[in-house]
Amino acid sequence: MLSDQIRSAYAALHARHIIHNDVEPRHILLAKTGVKIIDFDRAKSMDDVGVRVVVGEGGGGREVEREREEVEREREEVERLIRRCGRG
């Protein structure tokens, strides 16, 4: 199902600690091999901005929690996009 492919594509980004930050239908391509996410102009890597740290190192738990919040926010945006497109 297309909606599962979209979820999976964003989950793959999140597994690599990347937040796309611009969830829009125009950034989703349907390729022969499946869904592709494009346009990473607004994307950010949690590793690059120093947000992802090991829990327990000098208050690092707050940064890890911030990453979880950003991933959850983007997952919610993906679900809204799927509902908006009528593919839930």
Q: Where are the domains of the chain?
A: 2-84
73 is written with which tokens?
A: 């926010």
CATH number of the domain located at residue range(s) 2-84 in this protein: 1.10.510
C-alpha 52/C-alpha 69 separation (Å) is 12
Give pLDDT tens digits for 76-86.
999 999 999 87
Give alpha helix (H) positions in the chain.
2-15, 60-84
Give pLDDT tens digits for 10-33.
999 998 889 999 999 999 999 999
Helix, strand, or coil (residue 16): coil
Tell me the whole-structure pTM to 2 decimals: 0.78
Partners of 18 in the β-ladder: 45
pLDDT of residue 52: 47
